[in-house]
């Protein structure tokens, strides 16, 4: 019998990808398709659900065709997804009531402020491990129910279904047979109690969400049903689901307490595995579920940066300083210093540990000598500075000193950036041979369910390092750079952002 492979669906913020992996973690087929970003108002971000669905179908069919031509057997499917992005659809027709409201969207910021003033954040923090912020799904769901004509009454009558992107894709893939999510995505809604591991009635009351819209919550590796007949050449079992950052941690083999990874995609997300201990952050970080396998839960501390690769995308597409993202490495390396130019990329507010939804982006230190290279370098450096802020907060929360940082995502291909990261953090930075760790993690989860692996521990020996970046910067220069960042950051946080 030929080696069995897994199809991983990686539905991200700017594109949908499908990748087929062998049991050893080797990618044998891949396809990617971008889709439209919709910005109806300042701070609002939406996606067309049907465009997402069609993009997923398209890339899946492409890689399955490649696999069939190569005689590769595909055993099943794993799904990973942009988290918190919120959808509501009709249970009978499967048609969404409204565009998907994306995790970056800040339209509910005023209501979050009002709720914080009235009741505080204690309930949300203690039960969900999160902060009361527009980032998460609950206030987005409430907005849809309150702003789409008749939606709330239909939801209460059990006619509507809520889901994050994984749930919507699962519904569509199974022809409406399965309305479910996994614990990692549930833990990002602000409606799920991460300690009892159930939907929380008090949180549902707080956000005025009817329980009838909620999906079933399952382990990350579970029987999620079969694909609908006719979608692909054959019906395939869906065996794994995890939110993108948790999937990336699994793909990076960060399954032991104390291991830490950082993914640099549209945003940047750092997860520190804390094992069975759910730490309550005192530094405005998030406590979240890392994964649950066979009923055993591992937790994590997470820090979220809203804009990482999106800063480079803006430099390329927004102000058109470069033609391709690949140009930025050479431009940044062409300078002997940042020449005092700092970018704070708060395009949709600032995430952890600041949590300022009204902050807006700014570039400081511009002179007549400032050129494209300085702005490009400031964009790259801004991601490093934000990472430093998160790592420092994690160290205070967990009282552990990070020994190495494993990195992945699109920006991990940039050697200049990774060296700057190692210099700034003063820790070694490791890049794996397979940098598409989000998709790989989803494949591994499905592999556990489908019997390709006994447990997650089996995947660890498949992780291989591609490159190691060690600190080379002196403490005096590091302090100088960080002082400049803090000055720029304070002006964004304390300025008039209305």
Tens digits of per-residue pLDDT, 453-485? 888 888 888 888 999 999 999 999 999 999 999
State which residues form the domain around 153.
4-243
Residues of the chain scoring pLDDT < 70: 1-2, 399-401, 494-498
Residue 340 lies inside a defined structural domain of this protein: no
Residue 312 lies inside a defined structural domain of this protein: no
What's the pLDDT score for residue 164?
97
pLDDT tens digits along 132-186: 989 899 999 999 999 999 999 999 999 999 999 999 999 999 999 999 999 999 9
What's the pLDDT score for residue 449?
94
In the structure encoding, which two tokens stand for residue 250, read together?
Answer: 């699994």
What's the pLDDT score for residue 497?
46
In the structure encoding, which two tokens stand for residue 320, read together?
Answer: 């058109």
What's the pLDDT score for residue 441?
93
What's the pLDDT score for residue 2?
59
Residue 483 lies inside a defined structural domain of this protein: no
Beta bridge partners of 90: 160
Domain of 134: which CATH number? 3.30.420.40
Residue 96 lies inside a defined structural domain of this protein: yes
Domain count of the fold of the chain: 1
What's the pLDDT score for residue 277?
87
Residue 338 lies inside a defined structural domain of this protein: no
Backbone φ, ψ for residue 82 (5° rounding): -60, 130
């Amino acid at each position: 019998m030929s080696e069995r492979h897994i199809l991983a669906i990686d539905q991200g913020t700017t594109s949908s990808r499908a990748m087929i992996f062998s049991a050893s973690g080797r990618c044998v087929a891949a396809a990617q398709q971008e889709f439209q970003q919709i910005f109806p108002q300042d701070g609002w971000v939406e996606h067309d659900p049907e465009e997402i669905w069609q993009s997923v179908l398209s890339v899946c069919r492409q890689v399955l065709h490649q696999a069939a031509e190569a005689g590769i057997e595909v055993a099943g499917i794993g799904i990973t997804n942009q988290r918190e992005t919120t959808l509501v659809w009709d249970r009978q027709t499967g048609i969404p009531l409204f565009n998907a409201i994306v995790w970056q969207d800040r339209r509910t910021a005023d209501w979050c402020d009002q709720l914080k003033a009235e009741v505080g954040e204690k309930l949300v923090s203690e039960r969900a491990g999160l902060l009361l912020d527009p980032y998460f799904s609950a206030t987005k769901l409430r907005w849809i129910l309150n702003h789409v004509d008749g939606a709330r009454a239909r939801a209460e009558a059990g006619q509507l279904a809520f889901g994050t992107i994984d749930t919507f894709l699962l519904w569509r893939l199974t022809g409406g047979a399965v309305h479910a999510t996994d614990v990692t995505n549930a833990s990002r809604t602000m409606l799920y109690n991460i300690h009892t591991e159930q939907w929380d009635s008090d949180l549902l009351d707080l956000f005025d969400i009817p329980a009838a819209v909620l999906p079933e919550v399952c382990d990350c590796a579970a029987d999620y049903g079969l694909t609908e007949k006719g979608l692909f050449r054959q019906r395939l079992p869906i065996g794994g689901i995890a939110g993108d950052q948790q999937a990336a941690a699994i793909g990076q083999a960060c399954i032991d307490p104390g291991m830490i990874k950082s993914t640099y995609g549209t945003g940047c997300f750092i997860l520190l595995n804390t094992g069975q201990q759910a730490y309550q952050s005192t530094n405005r970080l998030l406590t979240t579920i890392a994964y649950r396998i066979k009923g055993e839960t591992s937790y994590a501390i997470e820090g979220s940066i809203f804009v990482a690769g999106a800063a480079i995308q803006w430099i390329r597409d927004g102000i058109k300083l470069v033609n391709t993202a690949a140009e930025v490495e050479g431009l940044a390396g062409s300078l002997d210093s940042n020449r005092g130019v700092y970018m704070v990329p708060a395009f949709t507010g600032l995430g952890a540990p600041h949590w300022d939804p009204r902050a807006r982006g700014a570039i400081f230190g511009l002179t007549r000598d400032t050129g494209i290279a300085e702005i490009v370098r400031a964009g790259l450096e801004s991601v490093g500075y934000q990472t430093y802020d998160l790592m420092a907060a994690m160290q205070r929360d967990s009282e552990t000193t990070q020994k190495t940082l494993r990195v992945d995502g699109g920006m991990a291909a940039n050697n200049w950036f990774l060296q700057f990261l190692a210099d700034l953090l003063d820790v070694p930075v490791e890049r794996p041979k397979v940098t598409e760790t989000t998709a790989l993690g989803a494949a591994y989860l499905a592999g556990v369910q489908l019997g390709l692996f006994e447990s997650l521990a089996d995947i660890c020996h498949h992780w291989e390092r591609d490159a190691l970046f060690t600190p080379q910067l002196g403490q005096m220069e590091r302090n100088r750079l960080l002082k400049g960042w803090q000055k720029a950051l304070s002006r964004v946080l304390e300025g008039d952002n209305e």
